[in-house]
Structure 1
Amino acid sequence: MYRLLIVDDEPIIVESLLDLFEKKSLDLEVYGVFSSSAALQVLDEMKIDIVLTDIQMPGMNGLELHKQIIASWPWCRVIFLTGYDDFSYIQSAVRNGTVDYLLKMEGNEVIVQAIEKAIADLNNAIEVEQLIARSREQTLQIEPFMRKELLWGLMQSNNSKPSGLGQQFADLHIPLDASKHVITVIGRIDQWRESTNSFDKSLFLFAIQNIARDYFQTHTHFESFDFSDKSKIAWLLQPIDKYMQTNRVEETTDWKRVLTFIKGAVETIQMAVKKLLNIKISFAIATVSRPWSELPEQAELLNLMLGRGLGLGEELLLLEQPDWSLAYDVDHHLLRKAIKQMPFMQEMLENGQQAVFFGAYEELMHLAGSVSGHKERVRSEIYFTWVSIFLSYLNRWQSTEQLAEQFPLARITMLDYTNNWQEVTDYFYQLATLLFAERETNQGSQEQDVITQVQHYVQKNIAGDVSLNRIAEVVGHNPSYLSRLYKNVTGNSISEHISEIKINKIKELLQENRLKTSEIAKAVGFLSEQSFYRFFRKATQLTPQEFREKMQK
């Protein structure tokens, strides 16, 4: 919905135009003021899309107002409405391309057509194609960061289907094929030089990746990115088609040949980095290719190899074991993968995403319940992570007093997670259920509080400023958001509520028969008796006097 501001020093013109647009279905919020200074105040407080203004006004004239308007809202369309047929007077403003020029004598339909044209111009200015084109330009600037985010996400947890992943690769110009297997290499900087700052690290990492490019690019398509606070680099590689006679699984002769090439290239890269940059770097190299869905398992295994045992040395070349299932427990990986989702589950809890939260929660707790032997210590990790998550939520949202009456919060740190995992599972499930329910209740209560504030303000200030902007300022919300919220909760718009209050107040005052109609008009906030008559007759099909006479019978 667009906003139209009408500016004229003659109240009767403003009122008649407000009445005109009230009858038209143009999906507009319409405001009216009687001076340029009042217009500037409105423009300072809210976004205005179209201004219909007189040119000749006391103080700041329309042309000066136009300069102020485009300084604040460059896309705002300005329509000059004047009784002077003097085009040369405004030709400098017309050259701007965002203005129109109408004579008051041309009539209402011409004015409506000018507003419709302005709306069409605004719509054209935000065409989807233009937005997409701008987004593409911006994407080119941030594309490296988006590529890194996507690939890092795939290494953590692959939730993308191959078809969707392929489109993402294409959009981000990643030279990899989502339908083919991928080979992973992870490099670790063994030790940075003393006094190496973050900027220098970025330069060195860029240099390392360029060195790797020189050796990898002859036989592979690849993408690389750094992670772990600039201490590690990952390369994801696929062979160039001309070096592959077949695209069968990794045990084929072609795949083995490519893997041999990658191992040799990594060894050469390691030596080149030391010689050219004086930096020691270690590598963990996958010796089998895997589909993208298994990338997280393979990446975690390579990271583990660099973090324990032989991996604690320097200038290492560690190779993944040929039978990866022996080196890596699939069930344990699935559990680690689920544990990595816990920070996201915390966000789900705080954002009210109940269905998604419980889906992930049940998967995690089921996997944790199936572990045995020395892996049972993983349960303690999960248990105390949940304790931290829920205590943080309770403390930040102060959800303790009422909740404590219906739930045993004191048990949160005393459950037997070693011997009774089902009790732990049920406890946190029930706690999360109560927190989601409390959140919904609070949201509904807060929304109702806002509605009550709006209605209270309108009731007390019906003779004063009951514009949407003023009401939004009083209750502390954005006007557009407040308008939508009020409509969603009550089923009526704020303007409909204001009209209802005004009608009821007018009827009450008319029945008391103490005030003149001009006094009643002022008491309910009308700027002129003419607009008061129009408003009342439109609502009741009676004039104020006819209504008063009817009530006296």
Structure 2
Amino acid sequence: MYRLLIVDDEEMITDGLYEILAGCDLDLDLCKAYSGREALSWLHQTRVDIVLSDIRMPGIDGMQLLSIIKRNWPHCRLIFLTGYSDFDSVYRAIQTPDVQYLLKSEGYPKVIQAVGQAVAELDDSLRVNGLIQRAQEKLKTLEVLARGEYFRHLLHGASPAPSLAADFLKLNIPLDADRPIYLAQGDLSRISSAVSSYANRHESAMAIMLLAESLLNGQVRSLGMIDRFGDPLWLIQESADRAYGNEAEEGASVLPYLVGQFELIQSSCSKSLDLSVAVTLADRPCDWTKLSGTYDKMKRQRQIRTGDGAQMVQTVNMEASCCAKERSPRDKSDALSVHLDAGRRDEFLLLFDELTQSERDNGAPYLLELYYTISLVLLSYVNRWELENQVSGVSALMRHDEFESWKEAFAFLRTTAMALFELRSSGESNRAAEAILKVRAYIEGHLDEDLSLVRLAGYIHFNPSYLSRLFKQECGVNLSEYIEAARIERAKELLRNDELKVLEVGVRVGYEASQSFTRFFKKTMGVTPVEYRDASRTVREIR
């Protein structure tokens, strides 16, 4: 879903465009601003894909917005809508890539056509198979392999050497050893059925990494790699020229840019690669000395996600100090532990079955070691997530002699693992239901306020695209449709009570302009608010 921001200092024009575009079949998340300053607030807190803006506005005008958008959201399309014959502004607008210009006198059909064209251009820009193919050679170079191996060494506990800057120079790493970095992790755990082998999974991770490089290019410095568990990982630094020093951009942050670009990366992965990837993103940069601890904390945070996590961009609060690392005692349990933590049921069971087949070829000492190796993985998971009262027979994990044969013992471990995966799945579903109940309660209590997708997503601490998808999945209707229905029901209730003026009723359900409320009500109910109130009075009198 693309996000469109409507900007005009004339309220009736902004509201009219909002209502017209809301009725089009373009699958857009619509936002509106009544000034350039208010538009900047939107641009600083979330990704915007299309801006439909007046050129002439008091304060920050359309051309100033153009400059800021092109610097901070380079993939955004702009459509300028004005009633002025301002040759200089028009000339500059049409000379800028991805910018259209329309006269207000051309009417709504032309606006809808321009927005549709912008959507089509965005779709085309995300289909980057050609880019991936052209970059395959780059992935095969020794330089890329050396970079990945170097950072995997740092991620898994090695302390950065005093010669970090020299190492970066030698390996041609495009990052500054003296500046902190953001860390972002991709999660391919939800595509296990499509990525059945190590080679296929690795190829998918590389394709996602390359695609991300093209969409992050310019605004930040980034280096992508694949971690030891087969997931893409990005080290990111804010570009030196991306500085917010002027009044117009006061309060801006690189974090909304990263969240927005990873949403685009997810959309592009879906369109170009038919892959779904979740992203975990640190909410602030860390020093190189804390890279390993930050990485471990983010891996653990992936456990606490709502719903199935697909297409989610989850930000992790890194303010608290990173926990000590939790390493499994034996190397052979590493992969099992990772699959269990990531919720990869199929991969876990496949590896489990491969390991336990050794019963035929090895003696009791090896089988005893294997039993306790797997038991420790399961027991560690149970303890970390406090599941001892929800899984039967936990005490037997450390008592292999309770079983009559190794076959029975390993069958018990497999059953316990299956129970843990079931608990994880039900927990995700329960958290999704609780989150949506919270959103619905907020909507009911704030019908007179801004209920944009961006604001609701901020309230629940999700990214907007994920909230939209999760709400539809849980409730069966689009979030915007639910809000409209709630506002209509509240308006009908207030109109039947006959205590407030129609204008006051409109304000109570989020419509400051009486004309906008009347259009909204009639579109849904087929009658105006006044006609509905008169009909309600007649019914009461008859009774």
Do the two structures share a fold, i.e. TM-score over 0.5?
Answer: yes
- Partner Cα distance (1:140, 1:96) in 2: 36
Match status 1:377 vs 2:365: yes
Aligned twin of 2:465:
480
Q: Distance in 1 between matches of 2:148 and 2:27?
A: 43
The code of the aligned residue for 1:66 comes to: L
Partners of 1:76 and 1:138 in 2: how far apart?
28
Q: 1:300: which partner in 2?
A: none
Whether the 8 Å contact between 2:138 and 2:144 is mirrored in structure 1 is no
> Structure 1: how far apart are the matches of 2:80 and 2:403?
78
Following TM superposition, by how much is the alpha carbon of 1:388 offset from its aligned partner in structure 2, in angstroms?
Answer: 1.6
Q: Helix, strand or coil for the counterpart of 1:542? A: coil
Q: In the TM superposition, what whole-angstrom CA distance separates every residue of 1:246-267 from its partner, at most 9, and x where no partner exists?
A: xxxxxxxxxxxxxxxxxxxxxx
Matches of 1:148 and 1:510 in 2, distance apart? Answer: 65
Which residue pairs with 1:368 in the alignment? 358
Instruction: Map 1:280-359 to 2 at 5 A.
Output: 342-359=333-350
CA distance in 2, matches of 1:348, 1:413: 21
Of all paired residues, the percent bearing the same amino acid is: 35
Query: What is residue 105 of structure 2 aligned with on the other side?
Result: 105
- The alpha-carbon distance between structure 1 residues 65 and 445, as it changes in their structure 2 partners (threshold 3 A), is same
Amino acid at match of 1:379: L
Contact 2:93 2:101 in 1 (8 A): no
Q: Which moved more, 1:75-84 or 1:427-436?
A: 427-436
Partner of 2:269: none
Structure 2, unaligned stretches of length 5 or more?
150-194, 208-227, 229-329
Secondary structure, counterpart of 2:32 in structure 1: strand
Query: Paired residue for 1:25?
Result: 25
Aligned partner of 2:379 in structure 1 is 391
Match of 2:3 in 1: 3
Correspondence list, 1:501-512, <5 A:
501-512=486-497
Question: 1:417-456 counterparts in 2 under 5 A?
Answer: 420-456=405-441
- 495-504 or 343-352, which deviates more: 343-352
Give the superposition deviation at 1:445.
0.8
For structure 1, which segment, 478-487 or 541-550, has the greater mean C-alpha deviation from structure 2 after superposition? 541-550
Question: TM-score, with normalisation over the residues of structure 2?
Answer: 0.63
Mind listing any 5+ residue stretches in structure 1 that lack a counterpart?
Answer: 150-159, 173-226, 228-338
**2: CA distance, partners of 1:461 / 1:117:** 35
Distance 1:485 1:146 in 2: 40
1:514 aligns with 2:499: yes
- Tell me the secondary structure at the aligned position of residue 500 of structure 2: coil
Q: Secondary structure at the match of 2:527?
A: coil
Q: After superposition, give the CA deviation of every residue in 1:99-133 in whole Å (9 maximum; x if it has no partner).
A: 12111112112212222222232233233344324
Contact 1:55-1:62 at 8 Å conserved across structures: yes
Q: Structure 1 residue 398: deviation in Å?
A: 2.0
What amino acid is aligned across from residue 380 of structure 1 in structure 2? Answer: L
Q: Which position in structure 1 is the counterpart of 2:526?
A: 541
Q: Deviations over 1:505-529 (max 9, x none)?
A: 0111011011111000000001311
Question: Secondary structure at the residue paired with 1:428?
Answer: helix
Query: What is the Cα-based RMSD across aligned positions, in Å?
Result: 3.0
Amino acid at match of 1:386: I
Determine helix, strand or coil for the equivalent of 1:398.
coil
What is the deviation of 1:341? 6.5
Structure 1 letter corresponding to 2:459:
V
Q: Distance in 1 between matches of 2:40 and 2:427?
A: 38
Equivalent-residue separation in structure 2 for 1:478 and 1:144 (angstroms): 31
Per-residue deviation, 1:148: 10
CA distance in 2, matches of 1:419, 1:143: 54
* 1:517-528 matched pairs, under 5 angstroms: 517-528=502-513
- Note if 1:36 corresponds to 2:26: no
Give secondary structure in 2 for the equivalent of 1:451: helix
Distance 1:125 1:148, change over 3 A: closer
* Cα gap change, 1:481 to 1:515, in 2 (>3 Å): same
Aligned equivalents of 2:146, 2:383: Cα separation in 1 = 35
Match of 1:252 in 2: none
Question: Following TM superposition, by how much is the alpha carbon of 1:417 offset from its aligned partner in structure 2, in angstroms?
Answer: 8.2
Moved over 4 A (4+): 140-144, 146-149, 339-342
**Paired residue type of 2:11:** P
**2:260 corresponds to which residue?**
none
> How far 1:382 sits from its partner (Å)?
0.6
Residue 387 of structure 1: CA displacement?
2.1
Aligned to 1:120: 120
Aligned residues: 368
Q: Taking structure 1 as the reference length, what is the TM-score of the superposition?
A: 0.62
The amino acid of 1:370's aligned partner reads R
Tell me which structure has the larger Cα radius of gyration.
1
Quote the Cα distance in structure 2 between the aligned partners of 1:110 and 1:402: 60
Distance (Å, rounded) in 2 between the aligned partners of 1:547 and 1:517: 11
Contact 1:380/1:418 (<8 A) preserved: no
Counterpart secondary structure, 2:5: strand
Which structure has greater helix proportion?
1
Of stretches 89-98 and 428-437 in structure 1, the one that deviates more from structure 2 is 89-98
> What SS does the corresponding residue of 2:400 show, helix, strand or coil?
coil
Cα distance in 2 for residues equivalent to 1:161 and 1:538: 50
Q: Per chain length, whose mean CA-contact separation is higher, i.e. which structure has more relative contact order (CA < 8 Å, sep 6+)?
A: 2
Measured after TM superposition, the shift of residue 349 of structure 1 is 2.2
Q: Look up the equivalent residue of 1:397 and give its one-letter code.
A: W
Give 2:399's match in structure 1, choosing from 411, 414, 417. Answer: 414
CA distance in 2, matches of 1:58, 1:380: 77
Contact 2:371 / 2:410 at 8 angstroms: preserved in 1?
no
Distance 1:123 1:40 in 2: 25
2:2 and 2:97 mapped to 1: Cα distance? 19
State the Cα deviation string for residues 230-288 of structure 1 (Å, max 9, x = none).
Answer: xxxxxxxxxxxxxxxxxxxxxxxxxxxxxxxxxxxxxxxxxxxxxxxxxxxxxxxxxxx
Q: Please list the CA deviations of residues 125-153 of structure 1 after superposition, one character each: whole Å capped at 9, or x if unmatched.
A: 2333443246436425577629999xxxx
Residue 351 of structure 1 aligns with an amino acid whose one-letter code is: A
Distance in 2 (CA, whole Å) between partners of 1:491 and 1:73 is 32
Distance in 2, Cα, partners of 1:415 & 1:433 = 19
Structure 1 residue identity aligned to 2:532: F
Tell me the alpha carbon deviations over residues 172-218 of structure 1, each in whole angstroms, 9 at most, x when there is no partner. Answer: 9xxxxxxxxxxxxxxxxxxxxxxxxxxxxxxxxxxxxxxxxxxxxxx
